[in-house]
Chains A and B, each alone.
Chain A
Amino acid sequence: MGLRTGSFQENYAQDMAIFRSRLHWEMLLALLILLSICPLFFSDRILTIMTMIGIAVVSVHGLNILTGYCGQISIGHAGFMAVGGYTSAILCAKLGFPFWAALPCAALAAGIAGLIFGLPSLKIKGFYLIMATIAAQFIIIWIIIQLRSITGGTDGLSIPRPMIGSIALSSKTNYFYLVMLFACLATITAHNIVRTRAGRAFIAIRDNDLAAEVMGVSLWSYKLQAFFIGCVYAGVAGSLLVHYIRFASTDQFPFMDSVWYLGMLIVGGMGSTTGAIFGVIALKLLDELVTIVGPILAAAVAPQTAASLALMSHGLVIIIFLIFEPRGLHHRWEIIKAYFRLWPFSHEVSE
């Protein structure tokens, strides 16, 4: 990444830092302040949208590490979220765990589920792995429905109001802060995980797994680590989701969600933490647009156009991105940033 003229890096630590200039820190602070005053200005509806975006951000960060960085394609992410969601729902509703204790258990359970379904990845890749993870999604949901006595089967499971200490997280505002806290934590940890030794190993595996193994990267260990980490994020997101709705049902974790999480990565740009956030925001806002435009279309043209638009919009957006901007919004963002950084010498912006 280039820097503005006149800002110098004098040692390695400075060069590797995420926030490298005063301006970066100021912008971070501004973003955090903006996030924290959101509830003062926005209605409950917008807060709900932002909360859902935050939950999806946590989940997609996990998928980004697994698919974007380690190259292990997973179309079963909603299934792993379901493991996390149901674990924390059962712990809270049946065993009386407090919310803060159930959340790590949920993360761990999802991580272990990820390890189990990640095992085939040691032998297979590409399309075979896609099929294995699709199978994981359906098998997990089927098992949840079968374990009727514990999970409530198709009826779902009500969850008591989440509490942290004496603070009840029942209002939209409280929960918004909680989710944003987790979204920020997830972003920080995700961005740092890929800067560690493990992260570099993930990238090596993604680029060429045979070459990586020859260089001494243990495929066995790192592929499973990627599955574990990715699914821990999914577990946290699943737990946040069911506690927000205070009800766990398999309908909250449909197969198509797993697909659209990958779609978010494509739209945002694979293998980039900012890309994951952009992708989530873009597709979630598209959803909102569809819910606004859909009824108007339905009234004006024909009743089924609303449902049709909802189905087609995601597909069309992904097709457009794949053909015209396969590197995603992240790449556009980098171009915009470079433009301002290099202004007025913008001819130096290179693709």
Chain B
Amino acid sequence: MTFFLQLVVTGFAQGMVYALIAIGFVIILKCSEVFNIAQGHFVMIGGYLGYTFLVPFGLPIWAALLLAIAVASVMGLLIERLMLRPMVGQPVLAVVMMTIALASVLEGLATLLWGAEYKAYHGLLPTITAKVGAISIPSESLIGLIISVICVVILMLLFRYTKIGLAMRATAEDLQVVQSVGIKATTVYAVSWIIACVVGVIGGILLGGVSGANMELANIGLKAFAVVLLGGLDSIGGAIVAGIILGMLENVAAGYLDPLLPGGGLAQVFPFIVMIIVLIFRPNGLFGLSRIERV
């Protein structure tokens, strides 16, 4: 029982980081109907940025976070303006290929700047140790959990109480109406990409603090896809719930089933099995709206 609870708690903290990354994906999707395959690569860049600011620059964690957010904002702005703006109104495949190409360019950039090496900055993030009964909460997971929750709350407040947040919600509802009342859709697109980059980079710093920054961090994006599909593509709340569910399921399944399978590695393939099951039985996810199509 302790083993099980331990897995659930670790999974919960991990799931919250997944949820944070998945939210970036959902925001872009809702505002500009672009499926951003490169979301995981923002995470990888974030991991490396965290390393750069914390180790060679030797900055304190808050300064590193602020600088990383600044870099991510510029990156998001550039990506939207240079690559996604020409793609407005193009078919799904063209847009998806654009984000895949973006992913490979980001991977190339990371190789160029950091040499695709494993960069550890373990122990540099502040740690909080907590123990509930026999279950210990891993300190990095806890700090990840706290920062993720703070980010999600800030985003919720942004959507609820600011003008741009209102514009973004309106754009998600109906693009034509938004344009007819004089809201600039391109600004909304740019802001949505900036937010996606920033949450990806923050997620990257958190995950990098646990496992070190490396190219593998980009694969976390694939887990984020499973999260958004499970939660429903257009639901931010769904992404949070699904992130937590998937984080827990993944840990529990890996903990119990990996010893039984010779090759192991169930944690890697698990998100995809969830994905296929969701796609076959409930394509709109847990909280997604089902769309009615007309010819």
Residues of A within 8 A of B (CB): 67, 73, 119-120, 123-124, 126-128, 130-132, 134-136, 138-139, 142, 145-146, 148, 153-154, 208, 210-211, 214, 256, 259, 262-263, 266, 270, 303-305, 307-312, 314-316, 318-319, 322-323, 326
Contact residues in A for B104 (Cβ distance below 8 Å): 256, 259, 311-312, 314-315
B: interface residue count bin: 35 or more
Chain A residues closer than 8 Å to B107, beta-carbon distance: 311-312
List B residues 67-90 near A (Cβ within 8 Å).
Answer: 83, 86-87, 90
Does residue B124 face the partner (Cβ distance < 8 Å to A)?
A: no
A319 vs B108: C-alpha distance in the bound complex, in angstroms?
A: 14
Question: Contact check: which of A120, A127, A148, A256 meets B263 at CB < 8 Å?
Answer: A148
CA distance A33 to B164 in the complex (A): 65
Question: Using Cβ atoms and an 8 Å threshold, which residues of chain B touch A304?
Answer: 111-112, 115-116
Establish whether residues A135 and B275, one from each chain, have CB atoms under 8 Å apart when the complex forms: yes
Provide the residues of chain A in CB contact with B112, threshold 8 Å. 304-305, 308, 312
Q: Does B199 contact A (CB under 8 A)?
A: no
Closest to A270 in B: B93
Complex Cα gap A135–B225 (Å): 10
Looking across the interface, which residue of chain B has its beta carbon closest to that of A214?
B295
Known A127-B233, A214-B295; judge A132-B275 contact (CB<8 A).
yes
Does the CB pair B90–A315 fall under 8 Å?
A: no
User: Known: A134-B222, A138-B272. Contact between A307 and B111, CB under 8 A?
Assistant: yes
Which chain B residues in 231-272 approach chain A with CB under 8 Å?
233, 261-263, 265, 268-269, 272
Stretch at the interface among B8-16, B94-102, B147-155, B165-173: B94-102
A131-B283 in contact given A142-B269, A315-B101 (Cβ < 8 Å): no
Give the chain A neighbours of B273 by CB distance below 8 A: 135, 139
Interface secondary structure of B, over-half rule: helix
Min CB distance, B222 to chain A, in Å?
A: 7
Contact of A145 among B101, B116, B263 (CB under 8 A): B263
Residue of A nearest to B275 (CB): A135
The verdict on B158 contacting chain A, using a C-beta distance below 8 Å, is no
**Known contacts A311-B111, A314-B101; A131/B295 CB under 8 A:** no
Beyond A128-B279, A132-B275, 8 additional pairs, beta carbon < 8 A: A73-B93, A124-B279, A127-B96, A138-B269, A139-B272, A311-B104, A316-B105, A322-B86
**Can you name 29 A-B pairs with beta carbons within 8 Å?**
A73-B96, A120-B279, A127-B35, A127-B233, A128-B279, A128-B283, A131-B275, A132-B276, A132-B279, A135-B276, A138-B269, A138-B272, A142-B268, A148-B263, A210-B295, A256-B104, A259-B104, A262-B93, A262-B97, A305-B112, A307-B116, A308-B109, A311-B105, A314-B101, A315-B102, A315-B104, A316-B101, A319-B102, A319-B105
Q: Are A318 and B101 in contact (CB under 8 A)?
A: yes
Kindly state whether residue B92 has any CB partner on chain A within 8 Å: yes
> Which residues of B sit under 8 angstroms from A318, Cβ to Cβ?
97-98, 100-101
Contact with A along B265-295 (1 / 0, CB 8 A): 1001100110110011001000000000111
Judge whether B229 is part of the interface by a CB distance below 8 angstroms: yes
User: Does any Cβ of A come within 8 Å of B103's Cβ?
Assistant: yes
Q: Which 7 pairs show the lowest CB-CB distances between chains A and B?
A: A312-B108, A315-B104, A311-B108, A135-B272, A308-B112, A315-B101, A308-B111
Q: Is the CB of A127 within 8 A of B92?
A: yes
Cα(A142)–Cα(B35), bound, Å: 25
Is the Cβ of A131 less than 8 Å from the Cβ of B98? no
Chain B residues whose C-beta falls within 8 Å of the C-beta of A310 in the assembled complex: 108
Separation of A54 and B294 alpha carbons in the complex (Å): 42
Whether the Cβ atoms of A73 and B101 lie closer than 8 Å is no
Kindly list chain B residues whose C-beta atoms are within 8 Å of the C-beta of A120.
Answer: 276, 279-280
Contacts of B115 in A (CB 8 A): 303-304
CB of B263 within 8 A of CB of A131, answer no
Which residue of A119, A153, A210, A211 is within 8 Å of B280 (Cβ)? A119
Provide the bound-state CA to CA distance between A314 and B100, in Å.
10
Question: Of the candidates A119, A127, A132, A312, which one forms a contact with B109 in the assembled complex, judged by CB atoms under 8 Å apart?
Answer: A312
| Smallest beta-carbon distance A289→chain B, Å | 15
- Inside 8 A of B222's CB, which chain A residues have their CB? 134, 138
Q: Which A residues are in CB contact (< 8 Å) with B92?
A: 73, 126-127
